[in-house]
Amino acid sequence: MSTQRTLSIIKPDAFEKNAVGSILKMITDSGLKVVACKTTRMTVKQAEGFYAVHKERPFFGELTAFMSSGPIVVSVLEGEDAVTKYRELMGPTNSNEAPEGTIRQAFGTNIEKNAVHGSDSADNAKIEVDFFFSANELRGLLG
């Protein structure tokens, strides 16, 4: 295993539930380090760009509308095997199937309102981090 970085998004549903602090605590308690973090709000166009890989899927419009419906918290997480570790901490996409101790079990509602997003690979983590954070914002933070 090696030190990796991954992207975390705390979605509008979790932000609305005031769960941001609790989710960040679960992340840091898992051993992952938050090395960059900010609150933002995506436009529909930005959400369409971020989720372009899903453009042909039937849920694309609902997903992009939801992700642009309110504030989000985006973070760069760092740690040993961070991509896999964070995906395990999130739990499955459908919150109704998420096991005890996962973020989605604790704060998600269903398959759409599932509290968080995380990169699915190291390659996508780089793309996703670069989508939200400029080189200047990350300068000196990431080795």
* Helix (H), strand (E) at residue 107: helix 103-107
**Domain-located, residue 59:** no
The residue from 5, 11, 104, 117 that is catalytic is: 117
* Number of domains forming the structure of the chain: 1
**Domain-located, residue 49:** no
Q: Which of 4, 26, 23 is nearest to 79 (CA)?
A: 4
**Domain-located, residue 87:** yes
pLDDT at 1: 60
Range(s) of the domain holding residue 131: 3-43+71-138
**Domain-located, residue 98:** yes
CB 72 within 8 A of CB 39: yes
Q: Which of 103, 98, 100, 101 is nearest to 115 (CA)?
A: 103
Q: How do residues 72-126 score in pLDDT, each as one tens digit?
A: 999 999 999 999 999 999 999 999 999 999 999 999 999 999 999 999 999 999 9
**Domain-located, residue 48:** no
| 117 among known catalytic residues | yes
Q: How do residues 18-73 score in pLDDT, each as one tens digit?
A: 999 999 999 999 999 999 999 999 999 999 999 999 999 999 999 999 999 999 99
**Domain-located, residue 94:** yes
Tell the residue number behind the tokens 């941001």, with chain if given: 20
Q: Residue 113's domain is classified under what CATH number?
A: 3.30.70.141
**Domain-located, residue 58:** no
Query: What is the dihedral angle through the alpha carbons of 88, 90, 96, 99, rounded to the nearest 10 degrees?
Result: 40
How far is residue 102's CA from residue 42's CA, in Å, rounded to a whole number? 25
**Domain-located, residue 60:** no
Confidence (pTM): 0.94
CB 37 within 8 A of CB 74: yes
